[in-house]
Amino acid sequence: DVVMTQSPLSLPVTLGQPASISCRSSQSLVHSDGNTYLNWFQQRPGQSPRRLIYKVSNRDSGVPDRFSGSGSGTDFTLKISRVEAEDVGVYYCMQGAHWPRTFGQGTKVEIK
Amino acid sequence: EVQLVESGGGLVQPGGSLRLSCAASGLIFSSYTMNWVRQAPGKGLEWISSISSSGSDTFYADSVKGRFTISRDNAKDSLYLQMNSLKAEDTAVYYCARGPSALIDFWGQGTLVTVSS
């Protein structure tokens, strides 16, 4: 199975400051169709996950532009340009290039 | 508005069975691959199964293969998960989720399954 490793696992951030989460995969996430299937999800406390970013850097409809995704191959990053209170929660990366689909362990973002 | 509403969770003894359902609305259900993803209490997310839009193709995580069966009824806009030979480690919130498994996009609110004697 492809192992997805996130860091850090806990991220205390000051409101208005940037935040960055790393996600590394044990194998390349470039599919034979040419796409790179790396997605990011946000799970606020007590809520279901919500997809923020798909295929590395495509922001979902309604997702604030302070969220951005980047990376290639096995190394990916989710950035929040200026953290707001509503961004508190756990963030997961997920790979869709290989079976079985696998998630990172999650990064808990909290306000300092 | 897209809605995925799971039901059927509850307390079951080890070795028992349970059938989860997911009722979909606000989408053309028959056009979408559907998935089940679970989350053990206080833990991360685990993909467990997917089914193609027609129901002809199914996929399972090794952790549930041979014990769980995914199915769908496009006439009823519904997704199912038949869970047999349940173990304590199957205790989790089970989410119904839309989309090709490589690009899961929309999730239901989840239903809690507790396996305990």
pLDDT digits 0-9 by tens, A69-99: 999 999 999 999 999 999 999 999 999 999 9
Structure tokens at A24: 């590394």
Interface check B41 vs A, CB under 8 A: no
Q: What is the DSSP letter of A100?
A: S
Selected residue of A2, A48, A98 to mutate for chain B interface (largest B Cβ count, 10 A): A48
pLDDT for the residue B3:
97
Q: Rounded mean pLDDT of A44-52?
A: 98
pLDDT band, residue A29 (cuts 50/70/90): very high
Q: Rounded mean pLDDT of B7-36?
A: 98
pLDDT band, residue A18 (cuts 50/70/90): very high
Would you call A97 and B101 a contact, using CB atoms and an 8 Å cutoff?
Answer: no
| Closest CB from A97, A104, A105 relative to B102 | A97
pLDDT band, residue B83 (cuts 50/70/90): very high
Q: Rounded mean pLDDT of A43-71?
A: 98
Q: Which residue of B has its CA nearest to A108?
A: B44
User: CB under 8 Å to B96, separation ≥6 — which residues?
Assistant: B4, B6, B20, B22, B24, B34, B35, B36, B79, B107, B108
Q: Which residue has the tokens 């989410």?
A: B95
